[in-house]
Amino acid sequence: MRKGKELRKLRVPVALLFTLALAATGFSQSTAPAPDPKAVPVIDGGIGPCSADFTITDSAATPVYAAKVKVHIAYGTLSVRKLDLEVGTNIDGKARFIGLPNRIKHGVYFHASEGDRSGEAFDDPANTCKAQFTIALQKKSTP
């Protein structure tokens, strides 16, 4: 009977140690550092050597933070392959797409938006493989 009591005494400390070990691993995991608001967000399409750099501003030429820039790319034989990309702007209103194809049949439209404001830019990578755009967002007009 004495062994049974000793085993019960050991169970409590083992359970306590297990709980403390789990808690310690939870506390030891550090949180990820906050992203740098000045770093230019980059999205890689992975389908070519071209790039497009953006500066998104409002009508007063002030940079727009967290604007979304989207592009739909149809490429390949008969344009059957499709790729949709989206990137947000940093605190300076900048964003970048890399890995864009250098041969597209019809070029691409980049659409930028933030709240009720939007704007767009067109690029034909065959002519400007390293494009740079400034898009001034305007409020959408109501019909």
Distances (CA, A) of 136 to 55, 102, 106, 124, 139: 9, 26, 24, 20, 10
Chain-centre distance for alpha carbon 79 = 25
62 and 114 in a single domain? The answer is yes
Please report, for the domain that includes residue 83, its CATH number. Answer: 2.60.40.1120
Amino acid at position 15, single letter? A
Distance separating alpha carbons of residues 134 and 64, to the nearest angstrom: 11
Residue 80: the pLDDT is 87
Which range marks the domain in which residue 3 is found?
Answer: 1-30
Task: Tell me what the mean pLDDT of segment 84-90 comes to.
Answer: 97
Q: Is the pLDDT of residue 66 over 70?
A: yes
pTM of the model: 0.73
Does residue 59 share a domain with residue 15? no
Residue 36 counted as domain residue: no
